[in-house]
Structure 1
């Protein structure tokens, strides 16, 4: 029986419960039953999801706070379930299942190599975290067609958005835009034309390009690509951040990604490119396959697990070995920081939550490591960062103040 209960809790944490199983789970927890099994399920998820370099000490008091917070979320969710006329599951990441439990667990157990003793501040602010909510980002983007027409992918209905020269743009579920080529209807263009998809602050989107390549676009980014990839080249331009899963080409036509400081050329592979205008360097992290990174003075071929950084088009490319999971965590719905300075960390938070950040005082040595959900309330994130005792954070409307 205990094993069955543990499986039930694990199914809930992975958003796989049926309506009947949810009803049973809520009854168990509200009656105070099977807490050992609940603890075991949470501990297992902590080990699977929490990526840290050193073991952190989370004492029983802190764990109790987390449990109370999760239970509060469960009860709220239970009330919502009773009000709905039907129960619907959606594929992929579910805010209702994961953010009500796993994201809070990750936030509470976030490790920066140490976690100070609990204080009254932590207890009171955790309970008041929803006082002023800043919502996390979501699937928001604008598609600009070759003729200049713009389509809000956030507001557009599912289905066909446009059709030109045998190429159909379709919006599907879960934030996906696909371009499909109908060879029988394809016609040549008088001149090369381009389309652009851009995400705002607090936005992300997925695109399947006409050649079959899959692109994940992060917040405050834009991707410019040809309406129809020619037989001679497959070339796109990126500002911001994107993850590419490039489709192999039968004619071995290379796929190129251009940014303001570099160019990346591949045949079929997966890699992440970061090229924000407000960042000093453009980075390319190779997950698998092979890519060639080029700037004005040098070209170099990367191996899986390597990162190439370009600070200036006229400076040498810097290559180092890294853990790719830290650079593609955003694609999986996570923030992942490894010895990252507060300036860099807060830029990512600002883009995703669409907030402004002000600094007051000396930020030297303010470096953090940890992993937590991108779908948590921003106040929860700030509470955990402040709990390290190294910085002070306050949120007013959509502006975060950072003090030492």
Structure 2
């Protein structure tokens, strides 16, 4: 009965119709299977996805992790048509085992699996959400997540409107336009927010980020200033280029495009990732053109700054906007920095630096305990004291 129910839920999952509650139910059912039953279910799921395409390409390290999970229990795994197809199906099921959270530590196994610490089993820290504070031109503030839908203020000849979906928009009211009226939106740790600027440009702010912008764009350019991380979908206007000012020495110039900027002060570099169109990353006035699929990393040195350009998986850079953490070759501290900002927790470390490197995805809607459990399964030791996580390296 349980396997038949699993097949029903997997069919819904493959078609994209699985609810959060059904995903948790599927995760629990999968965890009840032994190695041979898991293999049988994987073969059945491989047949389901065959008509919908195979998710992903085979990765040697990940495949070996799957072997560790199943192969030790039943011997050599039997592929379904191709190893890639079997790998793809098994990878999906392993992700579901954690109900949306899966991480793989690429460091060779050196430590035995850890049991949950007694002080973290029942510790619940909720994920972040749509939270931000709007600062108007006169210095007054509006807590956007507490404000009712509708017109919140009038700024520079526009109405500042909170829409039903929580988004903030600037809508012309037909009055006299003033381009010198500036507003700022800032998200706290544990917050995110979306705004539509007066020209139609869409901006998503990640946690602990801000954007300063004119209520109405005037003159021959459109210029905004940001801190932290933001994703832009810039409205096209060939007569008025769009500029994102990051600091005194670095800015991004575009006409109309989709890109992500990560400029947190606690990150070692500023990274601009281009999804669509064309942008120029300028450091001390020197232009560096990016093409779609490329990431420009600003590196400062004694002689100024430079931009290193490389091809990247753009999905990783904007995963936060889609409600996911995505890690690829990320060290432990990089993982914890993202968790710290989203769950509004402090992180401290004991011992030396860990050489563990992680890959995987985690849903940002999960409670912190679920995310930490994914790390614990990969030999990360920690304890929680209030809203402080102490990581032992």
The TM-score normalised by the length of structure 1 is 0.75
1:105 aligns with 2:99: yes
Q: Which residue of 2 aligns with 1:316?
A: 306
How much is the aligned-residue C-alpha RMSD, in angstroms? 3.7
Residues 277-296 of structure 1 correspond to what in structure 2 (within 5 A)?
277-296=265-284
Tell me if the contact between 1:13 and 1:102 (Cα under 8 Å) persists in the aligned partners.
Answer: no
Contact 1:115 1:388 (C-alpha < 8 Å) held by counterparts: no
Q: Does 1:244 align with 2:232?
A: yes
Q: Per-residue deviation at 1:374? A: 1.1
Q: Is the 8 A contact 1:240 1:274 kept in 2?
A: yes
Q: Which residue of 2 aligns with 1:70?
A: none
The answer to which of 145-154 and 109-118 deviates more is 109-118
Q: Does the aligned pair in 1 maintain the 2:259–2:274 contact within 8 Å?
A: yes
Distance 1:197 1:216 in 2: 11
In the TM superposition, 1:176-195 aligns within 5 A as 176-182=167-173, 185-189=174-178, 192-195=180-183
Name the SS of the counterpart of 2:62 in structure 1: coil
Give the alignment partner of residue 210 of structure 1, picking from 178, 198, 210: 198
1:59 paired residue among 69, 73, 76: 69
The separation in 1 between residues aligned to 2:13 and 2:266, in whole angstroms, is: 43
Q: Quote the offset at 1:317 in angstroms.
A: 1.5
- Structure ranking higher in strand proportion: 2
State the alpha-carbon separation in 1 of the partners of residues 164 and 384 from structure 2: 33
SS in 1 for 2:126: coil
- The offset of 1:128, in angstroms, is 8.8
- Structure 1 gaps of 5+ residues are 63-100
From 144, 153, 159, the equivalent of 1:168 is: 159
Residue in 2 that maps onto 1:298: 286
- 1:337 to 1:5, Cα distance in 2 relative to 1, 3 A: closer
1:114 and 1:242 mapped to 2: Cα distance?
31
Q: From the superposition, tell whether residues 39 and 13 of structure 1 become closer, same or farther in structure 2 (CA, over 3 Å).
A: farther
Shift of 1:169: 1.3
> Of residues 338, 348, 356 in structure 2, which corresponds to 1:348?
338
Map 1:59-138 → 2, pairs under 5 A: 59=69, 104-107=98-101, 109-113=102-106, 121-122=114-115, 131-138=122-129
> CA separation of 1:200/1:48 partners in 2, compared to 1, >3 Å: closer, same or farther?
farther
Deviates more, 1:171-180 or 1:316-325: 171-180
- Structure-2 separation of matches of 1:50 and 1:374: 24
> Partner residue of 1:399?
388
Unaligned runs of 5+ in 2: 33-37, 73-94
Correspondence for 1:255: 242
Shift of the 298–343 alpha-carbon distance from structure 1 to 2, 3 Å rule, reads same
Distance 1:372 1:395 in 2: 20
Give how far 1:49 is off. 9.1
The secondary structure found in structure 1 opposite 2:105 is: coil
SS state at 1:169 partner: strand
CA displacement at 1:387 relative to structure 2: 1.9
Deviations 1:246-268 (Å, cap 9, x if unpaired)? 0111x531000001141000011
Mapped partners of 2:43, 2:192: distance in 1: 34
The answer on 1:371 being equivalent to 2:361 is yes
> Is the CA contact 2:274–2:294 (under 8 Å) kept in the aligned structure 1?
yes
Question: Residue 120 and residue 343 in structure 1: after superposition, are their counterparts in 2 closer, same or farther (change >3 A)?
Answer: closer
Classify 1:396/1:239 alpha carbon distance in 2 versus 1 (closer, same or farther; 3 Å): same
